[in-house]
A = this chain, B = another copy of it.
Amino acid sequence: MSRYAVIGSNSFTGACFIEYLLNLPATEKILAFSRSLEKTELFLPYLSHPAAHKVTFIQADLNHDLGRVMGVLRDVQPEYLATFAAQSEVGPSWENPQHWYQTNVVSMHALYFGLKDLGFLKGIIHTSSPEVYGTCEGYIKEDAPMNPSTPYAASKAGGDLALLPLIKNFNLPVRLIRATNIYGKHQQLFKIIPRAAIYILQGKTIELHGGGLAVKSYIHSHDVSHGTYLAMTRGRAGEIYHLSPADGGISVREVVEVICRSLGADFNKVTKVGPERLGQDKAYTIDSTKARSQLGWTDDISRETGITEVVGWVKGNLESILEQPLNYVHKE
């Protein structure tokens, strides 16, 4: 039986990972930390899971409540811990960049600086991002140089580098995951897949930044949870693992085309071209050979299947979805 801690449990990827852990029979307990109140079932699939009682939610903000987080960890002594907490949006990082550096570098480092002293931790996951590489056309491997194009990307890169002194000098058992763009049911509504589906169902026009030509490696949240678990339990300290589809990336435009087909909408009627985002990289296509060969990871959900599933989730929950804000709401 194993105990887990998930930092950033209200995040899309964190919540999906908790659901993944609940499906493992040997899960004894999960500590779920978030700075916000627990979200609704719409975003937290684990709430309606038969084993939901194994999850203990703790509201705590890494920027302010680190001592309390550390206290709970020392009490419960989880063997494994995964962090998904971050200022995670790209565009808004140009508005208040100091919040991105504060959370993703200063506060994340403070967490890991505390974790280095917790001898009961066997495996730690740090959620990084392929955006640290800047534009990555072709197949980028884990040792590519950092070359961030936005405050979000640079703050994630800085947070990753802050781990190295702790790995080198204290053997902090942390592995880094870089996956993009993670999608699936329960994801934030302002992300392209649910947003496009909502707009089509409402008869609104979808604006595609720069025509939606940016290429991204869309990967389903279940596949990411599986890879995260493998890296956490089998991976090696200090190693970075990419999680991405074997067949490369597709453009945002192509994703919207799949959604249009799924909803019987005419792409040319429901979309228009908008201005490109500041610092938008042309492509994030990363090579996941290492995770496949060293962790035995595979991605199992095809994009057509996965995107159609998200569209179905939007259709089936449209009433409660429309009660939610559809745009990103920044919180310091």
Let me know if A148 is at the binding interface, CB within 8 A.
yes
A162 nearest CB neighbor, chain B only: B154
The contact of A98 among B110, B150, B151, B161, by CB within 8 Å, is: B110
Pairwise interchain contact A162-B158, C-beta atoms closer than 8 A: yes
Pairwise interchain contact B161-A165, C-beta atoms closer than 8 A: no
The contact of A146 among B105, B161, B279, by CB within 8 Å, is: B161
Pairwise interchain contact A279-B106, C-beta atoms closer than 8 A: no
Let me know if A329 is at the binding interface, CB within 8 A.
no
Interchain CA distance A105-B106 in the complex, whole Å: 8
Let me know if A169 is at the binding interface, CB within 8 A.
yes
Interchain CA distance A151-B154 in the complex, whole Å: 17
Q: In the assembly, how many copies of this chain are there?
A: 2
Let me know if A36 is at the binding interface, CB within 8 A.
no
B-contact bits for A83-104, CB 8 A (1 contact / 0 none): 0000000000000011001100
Pairwise interchain contact B158-A105, C-beta atoms closer than 8 A: yes
A109 nearest CB neighbor, chain B only: B101
Pairwise interchain contact B154-A161, C-beta atoms closer than 8 A: yes
Chain A interface residue number, banded:
20 to 34
**Which B residues touch A146, using CB under 8 A?**
146, 161
Which residues of A93-144 are within 8 A (CB) of B? 97-98, 101-102, 105-106, 109-110, 113, 134, 143
Pairwise interchain contact A161-B162, C-beta atoms closer than 8 A: no
Report the minimal beta-carbon distance from A64 to chain B, rounded to whole angstroms: 13
The contact of A147 among B150, B151, B162, B164, by CB within 8 Å, is: B164
A-B contact pairs, 25 of them (CB 8 A): A97-B109, A97-B110, A97-B113, A98-B109, A101-B105, A101-B106, A101-B109, A105-B105, A106-B106, A134-B168, A143-B145, A146-B161, A148-B165, A149-B165, A149-B168, A149-B169, A150-B165, A154-B158, A154-B161, A154-B162, A154-B165, A155-B162, A157-B161, A158-B159, A158-B161
